[in-house]
Structure 1
Amino acid sequence: MRSRMTARTRLILTGVAAAASVGLLVGCTGTGADENGAERQGTTSEENAASGDTVTIGFSGPAADHGWLGAINSGAADAAASFDDVELKTAEGTNDPIAQIAAVETFVNDKVDAIVLLPTDGAALTEAAIAAMNAGIPVINVDREFSSPFAARATVLGDNYGMGVSAGTYICEQLDGKTDAVVAEIAGIDSLPLTQDRSQGFADALKDCGLDVSARVAADFTVAGGESAASQLLSANPKIDAIWNHDDDQGIGVLAAIASAGRDEFFMMGGAGSKAAMEAIEADDSVLKATVIYPSTQAADGVALARLIAQSKTLGDIVTPGIPNRIVLDAPVVTKENVDQYIDLAFE
């Protein structure tokens, strides 16, 4: 690895190890004995950081028509650039599964060493991913899962259900036993499984403290959609105690609707972790008091994993040799008290 990395890149690349590390290792060597003489098999992060054989990684993701997706793409590029033994081949972002299948086939024909793939449609890309795996090219699946376990060597996911749980838990804590509270929810696109998972986690967490969702509307992950949905919600509910908005990009429209309505009797939390949301939380001058992260570093983690897999390395600082087949990243809540720990990872 190059000797200098930006703070952002260091944070990106620690995501994989932080997600999977169990904190059990001591010492500095790849195999050997700890201070009690016990043998271990894992490698350390320092060993994995050392340059190895150059590997070529193909990356394909959807069109960057949302701030989060833009951060996914730039994160993959930043991660690859931080290694002096990685060459990244990036396909043009697309929302057309046929075009993405063609990109994967091109990677296979080019005989890349690994493929990192955030599919525009997991089911539609499954067969292409299986073909790559059958050609001996490991595929790292990011964010949207394939429909077969044979389509990927490793999968890196955000935790949509966990986002809902984190949001509900935070709201329960802030309302502190107020069982008659009016809790509202502004979801994303209701037909998407990720929205359904977020809503289910939210409802389950609220139920645990004796609350439920009193009012709910769905938007479409856009600023205009957020403003329209929030206006509808506010008009139908003259009193609200707390709002969870699933997505910080659509949250710009939500906050505009709240300002237009002159409402401030409630607090709001967002979702995904945009820079605009974190700056508003830091300023503490609006109803937005928190957001829950859906990591935009997943493709960066995928590139880091692809490098390790292609170089036959193990994941640093865990006891069990090899690379985990499935990594689910955390969904932490960001507040004014801890925003400084997360703002460098925020997406624009």
Structure 2
Amino acid sequence: MRKVLSLVLVLVLVLAVFAGCQPKQEEPAEGGAKVGLIVSTLNNPFFVTLKDGAEAKAAELGLELTVLDSENDSAKELARMEDLITKGVDVILINPTDSDAVGNAIKAANDAGIPVITLDRGANAGEVVTHIASDNVSGGKMAGEFIVEQLGGKGKVVELEGIAGTSAARDRGQGFNAALEGTDVEVVAKQVADFDRTKGLSVMENILQAQPEIDAVFAHNDEMALGAQKAVEASGRDILIVGFDATDDAVKAVGEGKMAATVAQQPSMIGSLGVEAAQSVINGEALDEFVPVDLMLVK
């Protein structure tokens, strides 16, 4: 009997040692590469969708993704970058609050030896591996050509600009104004509304009071376009409105005839491609300097 008990005890000990040598099932996930994503603001549906696309792709690839919100504040953006550097992430994706100011944050990552990828908005300083975004110049031109066509090549338009210093605002405005060249369509007012719906409303109210004749409005994003639409609706004037981003609210407004059109980006794809690019960097694969994401006009 004692021999049987001794054999059982030995067997239990052997099994225990063997089990202790086996890797835990959750370790591969915990040992996955770490990627950081800094978003300019999560108070905008476009960037929420971008974040969602990044999170879905990270889950698919088994990457650990940390998402931080800069709240449209360059100082907070730098602090978020420092947080990710401290966490020791392998790659950082960043959607800049300002293409100039973000340079300090990117340089901090450069100094720490962490590769950086920019999303939607580019950076004017610091070294980045690649930039993933829609062709904003092309999108602005698409909007301008649509307005010129709708107005028969003649009329007065308003341009609501995004946050000064962002590549998106600069490029969309560049493309839009290029489309008006050689036509009789005149920009009678151009004001910054910071990509914000409430500011779009207040800025447009002021422009409506100052400008007796307006045929169309081009807003650098849908949030400003939707704000402008409310101001125009309250004024009772008939003004064509074109936005940019094709957010759910804007597409609904186009369907209801409250907006004429919106340039459709694919924010979910921008986020997804960003994470794919991060995986490529981790794998040591080469990337193009710019990865364009297709656009289309929703009208």
The Cα RMSD (Å) is: 2.9
Q: 2:41 aligns with which of 40, 56, 63?
A: 63
8 A contact 2:229–2:241 mirrored in 1: no
Alignment of 1:217-236 (within 5 A): 217-220=190-193, 221-236=195-210
Query: 1:303 corresponds to which residue?
Result: 275
8 A contact 2:225–2:241 mirrored in 1: no
Q: 1:173 aligns with which of 143, 149, 153?
A: 149
Distance 2:75 2:231 in 1: 38
Does the residue aligned with 1:60 lie in a helix, a strand or coil?
strand
Does the residue aligned with 2:260 lie in a helix, a strand or coil?
strand
Structure 1 residues not aligned, in runs of 5+ = 1-52, 314-321, 336-348
Judged with a 3 Å threshold, the aligned counterparts in structure 2 of structure 1 residues 164 and 79 are, in CA distance, closer, same or farther, namely: same
Does the residue aligned with 1:72 lie in a helix, a strand or coil?
helix
Deviations 1:180-219 (A, max 9, x none): x2131231247435434323321211214x2332422425
Counterpart of 1:308, as a letter, is S
Q: 1:211 aligns with which of 169, 172, 184?
A: 184
Query: 1:326 corresponds to which residue?
Result: 290
Judged with a 3 Å threshold, the aligned counterparts in structure 2 of structure 1 residues 183 and 332 are, in CA distance, closer, same or farther, namely: farther
Counterpart of 1:171, as a letter, is I
Distance 2:211 2:101 in 1: 41
Judged with a 3 Å threshold, the aligned counterparts in structure 2 of structure 1 residues 332 and 151 are, in CA distance, closer, same or farther, namely: same
Deviations 1:288-337 (A, max 9, x none): 12111344333332112111221235xxxxxxxx32122233442112xx
Distance 2:40 2:255 in 1: 31
Does the residue aligned with 2:139 lie in a helix, a strand or coil?
helix
Query: 1:282 corresponds to which residue?
Result: 255
Distance 1:227 1:122 in 2: 25
Query: 1:29 corresponds to which residue?
Result: none
- Structure 2 residue 84 is matched with structure 1 residue 112: no
Query: 2:263 corresponds to which residue?
Result: 292
8 A contact 2:155–2:186 mirrored in 1: yes
Q: Per chain length, whose mean CA-contact separation is higher, i.e. which structure has more relative contact order (CA < 8 Å, sep 6+)?
A: 1
Distance 2:136 2:206 in 1: 25
Task: Report the CA distance between 1:261 and its aligned residue.
Answer: 1.8
Counterpart of 2:117, as a letter, is I
Judged with a 3 Å threshold, the aligned counterparts in structure 2 of structure 1 residues 236 and 133 are, in CA distance, closer, same or farther, namely: closer
Structure 2 residues not aligned, in runs of 5+ = 1-30
Judged with a 3 Å threshold, the aligned counterparts in structure 2 of structure 1 residues 231 and 110 are, in CA distance, closer, same or farther, namely: closer
Q: Once the two structures are aligned, what percentage of the paired residues are identical?
A: 27
Alignment of 1:1-348 (within 5 A): 54-81=32-59, 83-133=60-110, 135-148=112-125, 151-175=127-151, 178-179=152-153, 181-189=154-162, 191-193=164-166, 194-208=168-182, 210-220=183-193, 221-264=195-238, 266-283=239-256, 285-286=257-258, 288-297=259-268, 298-313=270-285, 322-335=286-299
Task: Report the CA distance between 1:153 and its aligned residue.
Answer: 1.2
Judged with a 3 Å threshold, the aligned counterparts in structure 2 of structure 1 residues 223 and 147 are, in CA distance, closer, same or farther, namely: closer
8 A contact 1:203–1:212 mirrored in 2: no
Task: Report the CA distance between 1:168 and its aligned residue.
Answer: 1.0
Most deviating of 163-172 and 211-220: 211-220
Counterpart of 1:118, as a letter, is N
Judged with a 3 Å threshold, the aligned counterparts in structure 2 of structure 1 residues 91 and 217 are, in CA distance, closer, same or farther, namely: closer
Dislocated runs of 4+, deviation >6 Å = none
8 A contact 2:164–2:192 mirrored in 1: no
- Report the TM-score when normalising by structure 2: 0.76
Judged with a 3 Å threshold, the aligned counterparts in structure 2 of structure 1 residues 91 and 331 are, in CA distance, closer, same or farther, namely: same
